[in-house]
Amino acid sequence: MAQDHEYEVRVRWGETADELNDALDLADDYRAKMHAAYRSRDNILRQFDKLYRYHRETENGCACGKTKCETLAVINADWISDLIARVHERDVN
Ligand SMILES: [Zn+2]
């Protein structure tokens, strides 16, 4: 009777440990995916940042020479500039 109980406790404990390990593996997997997503987001923002070198607002339209530049219209969105500024801040720190 007591042995049965002990056996059952050991089985349950083993199952709990397995579940915990599965959960930890899953967490590692998510963390890795999240880091990969951050890296690709950073890479995209760095590409955008390069575009800023050729496409900037000047008194006579865009620095690339066009008065109505489609590229500038895309990269000049505030949320993109904010994200790029944040990447720069992080690079400095
Ligand atoms: Zn341009």
Which amino acid is present at 57?
A: E
Task: Indicate the pLDDT class of residue 1, thresholds 50, 70 and 90.
Answer: low
Q: Which domain holds residue 33?
A: 2-92
Is 87's pLDDT higher than 90?
A: no
CB atoms within 10 A of CB 72: 20
Which tens digit of pLDDT belongs to each residue from 37-81?
989 988 888 888 889 889 999 999 999 999 999 999 988 888 888
Distance 79 CA to ligand 1 centre (A): 18
Domain count, the chain: 1
Distance 63 CA to ligand 1 centre (A): 6
- Burial tier of 81 (Cβ tally within 10 Å: 0-12, 13-18, 19+): middle
Which amino acid is present at 27?
A: A
DSSP per residue over 40-88, as a string?
HHHHHHHHHHHHHHH--EETTEETTS-SS-HHHHHHT-HHHHHHHHHHH
Distance 17 CA to ligand 1 centre (A): 58
